[in-house]
Amino acid sequence: MNYEIKLLNSIIESNDYVDAVNSGVENVFIEYRDVWNFVVSHYDDHGKVPSKDTVKSHFSDFEFFNTPEPLAYYVDEAKKESLAFQTRQIVAKAHSLIGDVGPKDALSYLMEQTSKLYKYSSSLKDTDLVSEWRDRYDDLKERSENPDKHTIGIPSGIDVIDKTFGGWQAGDFVVLLGWTGVGKSFIARLFAANAWRAGYRPMIISLEMNKKQEGQRLDTLLNNGEGHFTNTDLIKANPAIVDGYESWAESTFEGKQPIYLITSEGLETADQNMVQAKIDQYQPDMVILDYHGLFDDATGAKNETEKAKNLSKAFKRIAVKNNVPIIDVAAVTMAEGHGDRPPELEEVAWSKQLAYDADLVLAIHREFNSDLFQVVSRKVRRATHFGFYLRWDLETGKWAEEWDVG
Amino acid sequence: MKLTGESLIDLFKSYSEKSSKLFIPDSPRQDQVADSLAKHYDGELLQKAVKWYIDNRPGPFLVFEFAVESREMVEKVKYENEAKSRFQDIVAETRKRMEDS
Protein backbone atom coordinates (compact mmCIF):
# COMPACT_ATOMS: atom_id res chain seq x y z
CA MET A 1 0.00 0.00 0.00
CA ASN A 2 1.21 3.50 -0.84
CA TYR A 3 2.77 5.27 2.15
CA GLU A 4 0.96 8.51 1.28
CA ILE A 5 -2.45 6.82 1.65
CA LYS A 6 -1.51 5.37 5.03
CA LEU A 7 -0.32 8.75 6.28
CA LEU A 8 -3.41 10.57 5.01
CA ASN A 9 -5.62 7.94 6.66
CA SER A 10 -3.78 8.40 9.93
CA ILE A 11 -4.10 12.19 9.80
CA ILE A 12 -7.81 12.02 8.97
CA GLU A 13 -8.50 9.40 11.62
CA SER A 14 -6.46 11.08 14.38
CA ASN A 15 -7.51 14.64 13.40
CA ASP A 16 -3.93 15.53 14.35
CA TYR A 17 -3.20 18.07 11.63
CA VAL A 18 -0.92 20.28 13.76
CA ASP A 19 1.40 17.41 14.75
CA ALA A 20 1.53 16.27 11.15
CA VAL A 21 2.53 19.70 9.89
CA ASN A 22 5.07 20.16 12.69
CA SER A 23 6.61 16.84 11.70
CA GLY A 24 7.31 18.24 8.25
CA VAL A 25 5.03 15.96 6.22
CA GLU A 26 4.50 18.64 3.58
CA ASN A 27 7.22 17.31 1.29
CA VAL A 28 6.33 13.61 1.35
CA PHE A 29 3.19 13.97 -0.73
CA ILE A 30 3.69 13.45 -4.44
CA GLU A 31 0.99 11.17 -5.86
CA TYR A 32 -1.70 12.27 -3.39
CA ARG A 33 -0.70 15.92 -3.16
CA ASP A 34 -4.20 16.99 -4.29
CA VAL A 35 -5.76 15.18 -1.30
CA TRP A 36 -3.20 16.68 1.08
CA ASN A 37 -3.86 20.17 -0.35
CA PHE A 38 -7.57 19.58 0.25
CA VAL A 39 -6.88 18.63 3.90
CA VAL A 40 -4.76 21.77 4.36
CA SER A 41 -7.35 24.03 2.80
CA HIS A 42 -10.15 22.44 4.84
CA TYR A 43 -8.23 22.89 8.06
CA ASP A 44 -7.51 26.54 7.19
CA ASP A 45 -11.19 27.21 6.54
CA HIS A 46 -12.82 25.14 9.29
CA GLY A 47 -10.14 24.53 11.91
CA LYS A 48 -10.40 20.74 11.63
CA VAL A 49 -9.35 17.88 9.42
CA PRO A 50 -12.12 16.86 6.94
CA SER A 51 -14.15 13.77 7.83
CA LYS A 52 -13.91 10.55 5.82
CA ASP A 53 -17.24 11.32 4.15
CA THR A 54 -16.11 14.78 3.08
CA VAL A 55 -12.87 13.40 1.64
CA LYS A 56 -14.79 10.64 -0.14
CA SER A 57 -17.19 13.16 -1.68
CA HIS A 58 -14.27 15.01 -3.27
CA PHE A 59 -12.03 12.04 -4.05
CA SER A 60 -14.25 9.05 -4.74
CA ASP A 61 -11.30 6.73 -5.50
CA PHE A 62 -9.53 7.45 -2.23
CA GLU A 63 -9.35 4.33 -0.09
CA PHE A 64 -9.75 4.25 3.69
CA PHE A 65 -7.93 1.86 6.02
CA ASN A 66 -7.55 1.32 9.72
CA THR A 67 -4.41 2.93 11.09
CA PRO A 68 -3.81 1.33 14.49
CA GLU A 69 -0.36 2.87 15.07
CA PRO A 70 0.21 6.45 16.35
CA LEU A 71 0.59 9.24 13.78
CA ALA A 72 4.37 9.50 14.38
CA TYR A 73 4.78 5.96 13.08
CA TYR A 74 3.13 6.76 9.73
CA VAL A 75 5.04 10.03 9.47
CA ASP A 76 8.36 8.22 9.91
CA GLU A 77 7.40 5.50 7.44
CA ALA A 78 6.22 8.05 4.87
CA LYS A 79 9.40 10.12 5.21
CA LYS A 80 11.59 7.06 4.72
CA GLU A 81 9.60 5.84 1.71
CA SER A 82 9.43 9.30 0.19
CA LEU A 83 13.16 9.83 0.63
CA ALA A 84 13.91 6.45 -0.94
CA PHE A 85 11.58 7.17 -3.88
CA GLN A 86 13.04 10.62 -4.55
CA THR A 87 16.61 9.34 -4.16
CA ARG A 88 15.93 6.63 -6.73
CA GLN A 89 14.50 9.23 -9.11
CA ILE A 90 17.55 11.50 -8.74
CA VAL A 91 20.02 8.64 -9.22
CA ALA A 92 18.15 7.42 -12.31
CA LYS A 93 18.07 10.90 -13.81
CA ALA A 94 21.79 11.42 -13.04
CA HIS A 95 22.51 8.10 -14.71
CA SER A 96 20.76 9.13 -17.89
CA LEU A 97 22.48 12.56 -17.81
CA ILE A 98 25.91 10.88 -17.89
CA GLY A 99 25.11 9.65 -21.39
CA ASP A 100 23.18 12.74 -22.54
CA VAL A 101 25.31 15.67 -21.35
CA GLY A 102 28.40 14.13 -19.75
CA PRO A 103 29.58 13.22 -16.24
CA LYS A 104 30.39 16.79 -15.11
CA ASP A 105 26.82 18.05 -15.59
CA ALA A 106 25.45 14.78 -14.21
CA LEU A 107 27.52 15.22 -11.06
CA SER A 108 26.46 18.84 -10.72
CA TYR A 109 22.78 17.79 -11.02
CA LEU A 110 23.33 15.03 -8.47
CA MET A 111 24.93 17.39 -5.94
CA GLU A 112 22.27 20.06 -6.36
CA GLN A 113 19.35 17.64 -6.08
CA THR A 114 20.74 15.62 -3.17
CA SER A 115 21.42 18.83 -1.31
CA LYS A 116 17.78 19.89 -1.78
CA LEU A 117 16.55 16.47 -0.77
CA TYR A 118 18.69 16.51 2.36
CA LYS A 119 17.17 19.85 3.25
CA TYR A 120 13.61 18.54 2.87
CA SER A 121 14.36 15.36 4.77
CA SER A 122 15.72 17.15 7.87
CA SER A 123 13.11 17.67 10.54
CA LEU A 124 12.52 21.08 11.99
CA LYS A 125 13.91 21.50 15.46
CA ASP A 126 11.23 23.57 17.12
CA THR A 127 11.54 24.06 20.82
CA ASP A 128 9.84 25.74 23.75
CA LEU A 129 12.39 28.00 25.40
CA VAL A 130 10.25 28.43 28.53
CA SER A 131 9.93 24.76 29.38
CA GLU A 132 13.57 24.11 28.57
CA TRP A 133 15.08 26.63 30.99
CA ARG A 134 16.56 23.83 33.10
CA ASP A 135 18.64 22.61 30.14
CA ARG A 136 20.15 26.06 29.91
CA TYR A 137 20.79 26.10 33.67
CA ASP A 138 22.54 22.71 33.47
CA ASP A 139 24.69 23.93 30.60
CA LEU A 140 25.57 27.13 32.46
CA LYS A 141 26.44 25.21 35.63
CA GLU A 142 28.60 22.70 33.80
CA ARG A 143 30.53 25.43 31.99
CA SER A 144 30.98 27.52 35.15
CA GLU A 145 32.48 24.53 36.99
CA ASN A 146 34.82 23.57 34.16
CA PRO A 147 37.36 26.23 33.13
CA ASP A 148 37.90 24.46 29.78
CA LYS A 149 34.24 24.93 28.89
CA HIS A 150 33.80 28.63 29.68
CA THR A 151 33.45 29.30 25.99
CA ILE A 152 30.13 28.05 24.62
CA GLY A 153 31.42 27.43 21.13
CA ILE A 154 34.66 26.27 19.61
CA PRO A 155 37.42 28.47 21.05
CA SER A 156 39.07 30.84 18.59
CA GLY A 157 42.10 30.89 20.88
CA ILE A 158 41.88 34.67 21.05
CA ASP A 159 40.79 35.82 24.46
CA VAL A 160 38.79 38.84 23.27
CA ILE A 161 36.75 36.85 20.75
CA ASP A 162 36.09 33.96 23.12
CA LYS A 163 35.07 36.16 26.05
CA THR A 164 33.09 38.68 24.03
CA PHE A 165 31.54 36.50 21.34
CA GLY A 166 31.60 33.07 23.00
CA GLY A 167 33.76 31.37 20.36
CA TRP A 168 32.44 29.83 17.16
CA GLN A 169 28.99 28.44 17.84
CA ALA A 170 26.88 25.99 15.84
CA GLY A 171 25.28 27.80 12.90
CA ASP A 172 27.56 30.86 13.09
CA PHE A 173 28.46 32.52 9.81
CA VAL A 174 31.61 34.55 10.39
CA VAL A 175 33.17 36.70 7.67
CA LEU A 176 36.81 37.85 7.70
CA LEU A 177 37.11 41.03 5.65
CA GLY A 178 40.24 42.78 4.55
CA TRP A 179 42.00 44.49 1.69
CA THR A 180 43.94 42.19 -0.60
CA GLY A 181 47.13 40.75 0.87
CA VAL A 182 46.79 41.76 4.53
CA GLY A 183 46.82 38.23 5.98
CA LYS A 184 43.15 37.24 6.23
CA SER A 185 43.96 33.67 5.26
CA PHE A 186 46.63 33.50 7.99
CA ILE A 187 44.06 34.51 10.60
CA ALA A 188 41.56 31.97 9.28
CA ARG A 189 44.22 29.24 9.57
CA LEU A 190 45.05 30.45 13.08
CA PHE A 191 41.41 29.87 14.04
CA ALA A 192 41.57 26.40 12.48
CA ALA A 193 44.81 25.55 14.29
CA ASN A 194 43.49 26.78 17.64
CA ALA A 195 40.24 24.81 17.21
CA TRP A 196 42.26 21.72 16.39
CA ARG A 197 44.46 22.20 19.45
CA ALA A 198 41.26 22.33 21.53
CA GLY A 199 40.25 18.91 20.17
CA TYR A 200 37.93 19.91 17.29
CA ARG A 201 38.01 18.84 13.64
CA PRO A 202 38.28 21.81 11.32
CA MET A 203 37.75 21.59 7.57
CA ILE A 204 39.48 24.10 5.29
CA ILE A 205 38.29 24.56 1.73
CA SER A 206 41.16 26.45 0.14
CA LEU A 207 40.77 27.59 -3.43
CA GLU A 208 43.89 29.78 -3.27
CA MET A 209 46.69 27.48 -2.23
CA ASN A 210 47.77 23.92 -2.88
CA LYS A 211 48.17 21.09 -0.40
CA LYS A 212 51.90 21.62 0.14
CA GLN A 213 51.54 25.37 0.80
CA GLU A 214 48.65 24.76 3.17
CA GLY A 215 50.63 22.09 5.03
CA GLN A 216 53.61 24.40 5.50
CA ARG A 217 51.43 27.25 6.70
CA LEU A 218 49.63 25.06 9.20
CA ASP A 219 52.88 23.52 10.48
CA THR A 220 54.30 27.01 11.07
CA LEU A 221 51.15 28.04 12.92
CA LEU A 222 51.13 24.96 15.11
CA ASN A 223 54.86 25.40 15.76
CA ASN A 224 53.76 28.72 17.30
CA GLY A 225 57.23 30.14 17.79
CA GLU A 226 58.56 27.10 19.65
CA GLY A 227 61.67 27.32 17.50
CA HIS A 228 61.66 23.90 15.84
CA PHE A 229 61.66 25.49 12.40
CA THR A 230 60.59 28.58 10.48
CA ASN A 231 58.29 28.92 7.52
CA THR A 232 61.32 29.55 5.30
CA ASP A 233 62.95 26.34 6.59
CA LEU A 234 59.91 24.43 5.36
CA ILE A 235 59.72 26.21 2.01
CA LYS A 236 63.45 25.89 1.27
CA ALA A 237 63.67 22.40 2.79
CA ASN A 238 66.50 23.28 5.20
CA PRO A 239 68.34 19.97 5.86
CA ALA A 240 69.23 21.09 9.41
CA ILE A 241 65.62 20.95 10.62
CA VAL A 242 64.46 17.69 9.00
CA ASP A 243 65.07 15.43 12.02
CA GLY A 244 63.66 18.03 14.39
CA TYR A 245 60.59 18.39 12.17
CA GLU A 246 60.01 14.63 12.28
CA SER A 247 60.04 14.41 16.06
CA TRP A 248 57.92 17.60 16.39
CA ALA A 249 55.38 16.35 13.83
CA GLU A 250 55.19 12.92 15.40
CA SER A 251 54.47 14.29 18.86
CA THR A 252 52.08 16.93 17.47
CA PHE A 253 50.01 14.84 15.06
CA GLU A 254 50.16 11.16 15.97
CA GLY A 255 46.88 9.86 17.36
CA LYS A 256 45.10 13.20 16.95
CA GLN A 257 41.85 14.05 15.20
CA PRO A 258 42.00 15.13 11.53
CA ILE A 259 42.25 18.55 9.93
CA TYR A 260 40.42 18.20 6.62
CA LEU A 261 41.81 20.15 3.69
CA ILE A 262 40.06 20.50 0.35
CA THR A 263 42.04 22.35 -2.30
CA SER A 264 41.00 23.27 -5.82
CA GLU A 265 43.41 20.71 -7.31
CA GLY A 266 41.21 18.46 -9.43
CA LEU A 267 38.01 20.32 -8.51
CA GLU A 268 35.91 21.24 -11.54
CA THR A 269 33.38 23.32 -9.64
CA ALA A 270 33.52 24.82 -6.18
CA ASP A 271 30.07 26.08 -5.27
CA GLN A 272 27.64 25.89 -2.34
CA ASN A 273 26.67 22.33 -3.30
CA MET A 274 30.29 21.23 -3.08
CA VAL A 275 30.58 22.83 0.36
CA GLN A 276 27.48 20.93 1.50
CA ALA A 277 28.77 17.71 -0.01
CA LYS A 278 32.10 18.03 1.81
CA ILE A 279 30.34 18.72 5.10
CA ASP A 280 28.22 15.61 4.52
CA GLN A 281 31.35 13.64 3.72
CA TYR A 282 33.56 14.69 6.66
CA GLN A 283 31.13 16.00 9.31
CA PRO A 284 33.64 18.64 10.53
CA ASP A 285 33.21 20.72 13.70
CA MET A 286 33.99 23.97 11.87
CA VAL A 287 34.46 25.03 8.25
CA ILE A 288 36.78 27.62 6.73
CA LEU A 289 36.08 28.87 3.21
CA ASP A 290 38.96 30.64 1.50
CA TYR A 291 37.99 32.71 -0.26
CA HIS A 292 34.49 33.98 -1.06
CA GLY A 293 35.32 35.45 -4.48
CA LEU A 294 36.73 32.19 -5.81
CA PHE A 295 33.59 30.15 -5.16
CA ASP A 296 31.08 29.55 -7.97
CA ASP A 297 27.40 30.21 -7.48
CA ALA A 298 25.25 27.21 -8.35
CA THR A 299 22.17 29.41 -8.71
CA GLY A 300 23.64 31.27 -11.69
CA ALA A 301 24.33 34.86 -10.61
CA LYS A 302 24.57 37.44 -13.37
CA ASN A 303 27.43 39.46 -11.88
CA GLU A 304 30.03 39.40 -9.11
CA THR A 305 27.93 41.31 -6.56
CA GLU A 306 24.94 39.04 -7.08
CA LYS A 307 27.23 36.01 -6.80
CA ALA A 308 28.70 37.31 -3.52
CA LYS A 309 25.18 37.88 -2.16
CA ASN A 310 23.89 34.46 -3.21
CA LEU A 311 26.90 32.71 -1.72
CA SER A 312 26.59 34.67 1.52
CA LYS A 313 22.97 33.58 1.90
CA ALA A 314 23.81 29.99 0.94
CA PHE A 315 26.74 29.72 3.37
CA LYS A 316 24.64 31.04 6.26
CA ARG A 317 21.95 28.47 5.49
CA ILE A 318 24.52 25.69 5.29
CA ALA A 319 25.94 26.75 8.66
CA VAL A 320 22.50 26.67 10.30
CA LYS A 321 21.33 23.50 8.56
CA ASN A 322 24.42 21.55 9.53
CA ASN A 323 24.85 23.10 12.98
CA VAL A 324 28.41 23.99 12.16
CA PRO A 325 30.22 27.35 12.30
CA ILE A 326 31.47 28.62 8.93
CA ILE A 327 34.29 31.15 8.65
CA ASP A 328 34.35 32.80 5.24
CA VAL A 329 37.35 34.82 4.02
CA ALA A 330 36.44 37.75 1.77
CA ALA A 331 38.67 40.29 0.08
CA VAL A 332 37.63 43.92 -0.30
CA THR A 333 38.85 45.68 -3.41
CA MET A 334 38.50 49.32 -4.39
CA ALA A 335 38.80 51.05 -7.73
CA GLU A 336 41.25 53.49 -6.16
CA GLY A 337 43.57 52.99 -3.20
CA HIS A 338 42.30 52.36 0.30
CA GLY A 339 43.33 53.65 3.67
CA ASP A 340 45.81 52.03 6.01
CA ARG A 341 43.05 50.73 8.27
CA PRO A 342 40.57 47.84 8.49
CA PRO A 343 37.76 48.20 5.91
CA GLU A 344 34.32 49.44 6.93
CA LEU A 345 31.25 47.33 6.19
CA GLU A 346 29.87 49.80 3.64
CA GLU A 347 33.02 49.42 1.56
CA VAL A 348 31.92 45.89 0.62
CA ALA A 349 29.78 45.70 -2.53
CA TRP A 350 27.44 43.14 -0.91
CA SER A 351 27.38 44.87 2.50
CA LYS A 352 23.60 44.72 2.98
CA GLN A 353 23.41 40.97 2.41
CA LEU A 354 26.45 40.53 4.59
CA ALA A 355 24.76 42.50 7.36
CA TYR A 356 21.72 40.20 7.16
CA ASP A 357 23.60 36.91 7.03
CA ALA A 358 26.72 37.26 9.15
CA ASP A 359 26.78 36.68 12.89
CA LEU A 360 30.17 38.30 13.07
CA VAL A 361 32.14 40.35 10.56
CA LEU A 362 35.78 40.81 11.49
CA ALA A 363 37.70 43.45 9.55
CA ILE A 364 41.43 42.85 9.43
CA HIS A 365 44.30 45.08 8.41
CA ARG A 366 48.08 45.00 8.45
CA GLU A 367 50.37 47.73 7.19
CA PHE A 368 52.84 46.76 4.50
CA ASN A 369 55.51 44.42 5.92
CA SER A 370 54.24 44.93 9.47
CA ASP A 371 53.80 42.12 12.01
CA LEU A 372 50.96 43.98 13.71
CA PHE A 373 47.43 42.92 12.73
CA GLN A 374 44.53 45.28 13.45
CA VAL A 375 41.28 43.39 14.05
CA VAL A 376 37.87 44.96 14.65
CA SER A 377 34.30 43.73 14.56
CA ARG A 378 32.09 45.42 11.96
CA LYS A 379 28.96 43.45 12.83
CA VAL A 380 28.34 41.39 15.96
CA ARG A 381 25.03 39.64 16.40
CA ARG A 382 25.25 38.73 20.07
CA ALA A 383 27.74 41.05 21.72
CA THR A 384 29.12 44.58 21.75
CA HIS A 385 31.72 45.64 19.22
CA PHE A 386 35.33 44.83 19.97
CA GLY A 387 38.78 45.51 18.55
CA PHE A 388 42.32 44.40 19.32
CA TYR A 389 45.84 44.00 17.94
CA LEU A 390 47.67 40.78 17.19
CA ARG A 391 51.47 40.81 17.12
CA TRP A 392 52.35 37.94 14.85
CA ASP A 393 55.63 36.74 13.44
CA LEU A 394 54.54 34.90 10.31
CA GLU A 395 58.00 33.39 9.93
CA THR A 396 58.05 31.60 13.30
CA GLY A 397 54.30 31.39 13.88
CA LYS A 398 54.56 33.13 17.27
CA TRP A 399 51.60 35.37 18.01
CA ALA A 400 50.10 37.25 20.93
CA GLU A 401 47.24 39.63 21.60
CA GLU A 402 48.50 43.12 22.26
CA TRP A 403 47.06 46.40 23.52
CA ASP A 404 50.01 48.81 23.76
CA VAL A 405 51.30 49.37 20.27
CA GLY A 406 52.84 52.82 20.81
CA MET B 1 50.30 72.98 10.05
CA LYS B 2 50.20 75.96 7.71
CA LEU B 3 50.77 75.62 3.98
CA THR B 4 51.41 78.40 1.46
CA GLY B 5 50.82 78.21 -2.27
CA GLU B 6 54.53 77.85 -2.82
CA SER B 7 55.02 75.07 -0.25
CA LEU B 8 52.02 73.24 -1.71
CA ILE B 9 53.61 73.24 -5.16
CA ASP B 10 56.84 71.97 -3.58
CA LEU B 11 54.84 69.15 -1.99
CA PHE B 12 53.41 68.23 -5.39
CA LYS B 13 56.90 68.12 -6.89
CA SER B 14 58.37 66.12 -4.03
CA TYR B 15 55.56 63.50 -3.83
CA SER B 16 55.57 63.11 -7.62
CA GLU B 17 59.31 62.58 -7.63
CA LYS B 18 59.14 60.03 -4.79
CA SER B 19 56.45 58.11 -6.69
CA SER B 20 58.37 58.39 -9.98
CA LYS B 21 55.39 60.14 -11.55
CA LEU B 22 55.43 63.19 -13.81
CA PHE B 23 54.55 66.63 -12.44
CA ILE B 24 53.72 69.21 -15.13
CA PRO B 25 54.63 72.83 -14.23
CA ASP B 26 51.80 75.17 -15.14
CA SER B 27 52.89 78.68 -14.15
CA PRO B 28 51.53 81.24 -13.72
CA ARG B 29 48.14 79.52 -13.33
CA GLN B 30 49.34 76.97 -10.74
CA ASP B 31 50.62 79.71 -8.38
CA GLN B 32 47.22 81.34 -8.07
CA VAL B 33 45.44 77.97 -7.78
CA ALA B 34 47.87 76.74 -5.08
CA ASP B 35 47.48 79.99 -3.11
CA SER B 36 43.72 79.58 -3.20
CA LEU B 37 43.91 75.91 -2.08
CA ALA B 38 46.28 76.75 0.78
CA LYS B 39 43.97 79.52 2.00
CA HIS B 40 40.81 77.43 1.75
CA TYR B 41 41.78 74.09 3.36
CA ASP B 42 43.40 73.02 6.61
CA GLY B 43 47.12 72.49 5.89
CA GLU B 44 47.39 68.97 7.35
CA LEU B 45 44.32 67.70 5.50
CA LEU B 46 45.53 69.29 2.28
CA GLN B 47 48.95 67.70 2.58
CA LYS B 48 47.42 64.24 3.10
CA ALA B 49 44.99 64.83 0.23
CA VAL B 50 47.84 65.65 -2.14
CA LYS B 51 49.74 62.55 -1.03
CA TRP B 52 46.66 60.36 -1.49
CA TYR B 53 45.99 61.89 -4.92
CA ILE B 54 49.52 61.21 -6.16
CA ASP B 55 49.75 57.73 -4.60
CA ASN B 56 46.51 56.58 -6.15
CA ARG B 57 46.48 58.23 -9.58
CA PRO B 58 48.75 57.30 -12.44
CA GLY B 59 49.71 60.94 -13.34
CA PRO B 60 50.92 63.12 -14.92
CA PHE B 61 49.78 65.80 -12.47
CA LEU B 62 48.67 69.40 -12.73
CA VAL B 63 47.85 71.45 -9.61
CA PHE B 64 44.79 72.74 -11.46
CA GLU B 65 43.38 69.23 -12.00
CA PHE B 66 43.88 68.42 -8.32
CA ALA B 67 42.05 71.64 -7.39
CA VAL B 68 38.99 70.55 -9.35
CA GLU B 69 38.84 67.32 -7.33
CA SER B 70 40.19 68.82 -4.08
CA ARG B 71 36.90 68.69 -2.16
CA GLU B 72 36.49 64.98 -2.82
CA MET B 73 40.13 64.31 -1.91
CA VAL B 74 39.93 66.24 1.37
CA GLU B 75 36.67 64.49 2.31
CA LYS B 76 38.36 61.16 1.66
CA VAL B 77 41.23 62.08 3.97
CA LYS B 78 38.76 63.18 6.66
CA TYR B 79 36.92 59.85 6.33
CA GLU B 80 40.18 57.92 6.67
CA ASN B 81 41.18 59.92 9.76
CA GLU B 82 37.80 59.32 11.39
CA ALA B 83 37.90 55.59 10.55
CA LYS B 84 41.34 55.22 12.13
CA SER B 85 40.23 57.13 15.19
CA ARG B 86 37.08 54.97 15.52
CA PHE B 87 39.23 51.84 15.42
CA GLN B 88 41.47 53.15 18.19
CA ASP B 89 38.44 54.07 20.30
CA ILE B 90 36.98 50.57 19.93
CA VAL B 91 40.31 49.00 20.91
CA ALA B 92 40.50 51.25 23.99
CA GLU B 93 36.91 50.38 25.00
CA THR B 94 37.56 46.67 24.48
CA ARG B 95 40.71 46.83 26.57
CA LYS B 96 38.82 48.50 29.40
CA ARG B 97 36.04 45.89 29.25
CA MET B 98 38.55 43.06 29.28
CA GLU B 99 40.44 44.53 32.24
CA ASP B 100 37.21 45.11 34.18
CA SER B 101 35.86 41.60 33.59
pLDDT at A406: 67
Interface test with A, best of B72, B86, B88, B94 (most A CBs within 10 A): B94
Any chain B CB within 8 A of the CB of A112?
A: no
Task: Say which of A340, A386, A403 has its CB closest to residue B90.
Answer: A386
Q: How far apart are CA A248 and CA A224, in angstroms?
A: 12
Question: Do A160 and B91 count as a contact with CB atoms less than 8 A apart?
Answer: no
Alpha-carbon torsion (A361, A367, A373, A374), positive or negative: negative
Q: How far apart are CA B76 and CA B67, in angstroms?
A: 14
Q: Kindly report, residue by residue over A320-347, the tens digit of the pLDDT.
A: 989 999 999 998 877 677 778 899 888 8
Residue A205 confidence (pLDDT) above 80: yes
Residue A85 confidence (pLDDT) above 50: yes
Q: Is the ipTM of this complex over 0.90?
A: no
pLDDT at A133: 78
Question: Do A344 and B83 count as a contact with CB atoms less than 8 A apart?
Answer: yes
Residue A175 confidence (pLDDT) above 90: yes
For the segment A28-36, the average pLDDT, to the nearest whole number, is: 88
A273 Cβ partners below 8 Å, 6+ apart?
A108, A111, A112, A115, A298
Tell me the pairing of strands A372-380 and A360-366. antiparallel
pLDDT at A123: 47
Tell me the pairing of strands A399-402 and A286-290. unpaired
CB atoms within 10 A of CB B63: 24
pLDDT at A124: 42
Question: Do A376 and B87 count as a contact with CB atoms less than 8 A apart?
Answer: yes
Q: Kindly report, residue by residue over A43-62, the tens digit of the pLDDT.
A: 888 888 999 999 999 999 88
What percent of chain A clears pLDDT 70, i.e. is strictly above it? Answer: 94
Looking at per-residue confidence, does A86 or A125 come out higher?
A86
pLDDT at A318: 94
Q: Kindly report, residue by residue over A213-241, the tens digit of the pLDDT.
A: 889 899 999 988 787 888 899 888 889 98
Residue A281 confidence (pLDDT) above 80: yes
Residue A369 confidence (pLDDT) above 50: yes
Any chain B CB within 8 A of the CB of A368?
A: no
For the segment A99-110, the average pLDDT, to the nearest whole number, is: 88
pLDDT at A346: 84
Looking at per-residue confidence, does A17 or A189 come out higher?
A189
- Rounded to a whole number, what is the distance in Å from the CA of B80 to chain A's nearest CA? 6
Question: Do A403 and B97 count as a contact with CB atoms less than 8 A apart?
Answer: no
pLDDT grade for A394, boundaries at 50, 70 and 90: confident
pLDDT grade for B50, boundaries at 50, 70 and 90: very high
For the segment A89-103, the average pLDDT, to the nearest whole number, is: 91
pLDDT grade for A195, boundaries at 50, 70 and 90: very high
Q: Kindly report, residue by residue over A115-130, the tens digit of the pLDDT.
A: 777 666 654 445 667 7
Gap between the terminal Cα atoms of chain A: 78
Closest CA to A9 of A81, A47, A59: A59
Task: Say which of B80, B91, B97 has its CB closest to residue A339.
Answer: B80
